[in-house]
């Protein structure tokens, strides 16, 4: 057994070293760099300044605005992603008698998640154009005799709403597939017994589906929140297409701007470390909350 364990470590070691080199080392290096002042274009050695980078970013109005912009986006996108994707997945599972139609809907919902964020944002820029489909559709609903430009790319609220719509459109199918996998793993016999007892569809959903789906919901909550907080590409495309920066200047975009525009490696890494710590704390809290709520079909 001991010899087999050694061979197991030998086979696993290359993957562990590769992961450590390209994952753990950059993380550790970021922690170290966040305590130094360093200009990316300068050949001078980094200067150790302690916590000054952290003090600067948390007293900077620009970074505080980024936290606010990220919170607006995360809340506005996270709740619809988690809830609406579950509803859609439940409806798709209900089509099990029609497998071809079911597979078609799964493909339709999942297709946008394959497209890159930059391509998605570029496509939707055309839709949100003053002459695009978004304005035409809203004018049609409002029955406006004279077309109105809703200024999707100019007004702060509309810019936030536009980025949320794009992100939801892109990733809702991804979480639909995850929910779908969790739903089909629930034994149908439980629903049949509940139906014999006279339970309504709503009662079966709340008393059977939700409790047995908790591991999947836990995974979706963590992944969806991390994805929403780390959003970058859509806001980047919008800003460089002329949209106002302040309402959609999320933390990831601010990190990029601080590093690539202002060349401040120390402050950008301090922002990255702060974002990493926040995501880590949220994940640990979520795992602790759901640790005592494991479910079993037996």
What residue has token string 């907080």?
Answer: 229
Q: What is the mean pLDDT of the chain?
A: 90
Torsion from C-alpha of 234, 235, 238, 243, nearest 10 degrees: 160
Compute and round to an integer the Cα radius of gyration of the chain.
Answer: 24
* Three-state secondary structure call for residue 36: strand
Tell whether the model's pLDDT for residue 162 goes beyond 80. Answer: yes
User: What was the pLDDT predicted at 188?
Assistant: 85
* Residue 198, Ramachandran bin (φ over 0: left; ψ between -120 and 50: alpha; else beta): left
Distance of CA 171 to the CA centre of its chain: 8
3-state secondary structure of 48: strand
pLDDT band at 297 (very low <50, low <70, confident <90, very high): low
> In the predicted model, is pLDDT for residue 35 greater than 90?
yes
**Which pLDDT does position 205 carry in this prediction?**
87
Q: Does domain 47-291 have CATH number 3.30.413.10?
A: no
**Cα separation of the two ends of the chain:** 34
**Residue ranges of the domains in the chain?**
47-291
Name the token pair of 34.
């966040």
Average pLDDT over residues 238-242: 90
Percent of the chain at pLDDT exceeding 70: 97
**Distance of alpha carbon 292 from alpha carbon 298, whole angstroms:** 17
Q: Would you call 39 helix, strand, or coil by DSSP?
A: strand
pLDDT tens, 181-195?
999 988 888 888 888
Q: Where are the beta strands (DSSP E) in 227-284?
A: none
Give residues with Cβ within 8 angstroms of 135, minimum separation 6.
Answer: 128, 129, 147, 148, 149, 150, 152
CA distance 43 to 100: 61
């Amino acid at each position: 057994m001991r010899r087999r364990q050694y061979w197991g470590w030998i086979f696993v070691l290359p993957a562990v070293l590769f992961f450590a080199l390209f994952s753990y080392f950059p993380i550790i290096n970021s922690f170290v760099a966040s305590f130094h002042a360093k200009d990316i274009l300068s050949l001078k050695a980094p200067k150790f300044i302690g916590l000054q980078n952290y003090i600067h970013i948390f007293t900077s109005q620009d970074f505080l605005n980024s936290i606010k912009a990220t919170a607006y986006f995360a809340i506005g996108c996270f709740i619809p992603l988690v809830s609406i994707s579950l509803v859609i997945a439940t409806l798709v599972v209900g089509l099990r008698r029609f497998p071809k139609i079911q597979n078609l809907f799964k493909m339709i919902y999942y297709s946008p998640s394959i497209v890159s964020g930059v391509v998605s944002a570029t496509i939707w820029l055309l839709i949100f154009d003053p002459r695009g489909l978004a304005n035409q559709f809203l004018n049609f609903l409002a029955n406006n005799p004279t077309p109105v430009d809703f200024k999707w790319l100019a007004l702060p609220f509309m810019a936030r709403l536009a980025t949320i719509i794009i992100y939801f459109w892109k990733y809702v199918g991804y979480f639909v597939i995850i929910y779908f996998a969790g739903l089909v793993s629930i034994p149908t016999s439980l629903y049949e017994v509940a139906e014999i007892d006279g339970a309504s569809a709503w009662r079966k959903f709340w008393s059977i589906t939700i409790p047995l789906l908790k591991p999947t919901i836990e995974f979706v909550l963590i992944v969806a929140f991390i994805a929403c907080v780390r959003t970058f590409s859509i806001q980047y495309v919008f800003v460089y297409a002329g949209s106002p920066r302040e309402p959609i200047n999320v933390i990831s975009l601010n990190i990029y701007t601080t590093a690539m525009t202002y060349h401040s490696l120390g402050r950008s890494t301090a922002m990255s470390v702060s974002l990493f710590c926040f995501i880590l704390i949220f994940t640990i809290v979520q795992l602790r909350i759901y640790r005592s709520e494991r479910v079993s079909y037996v």
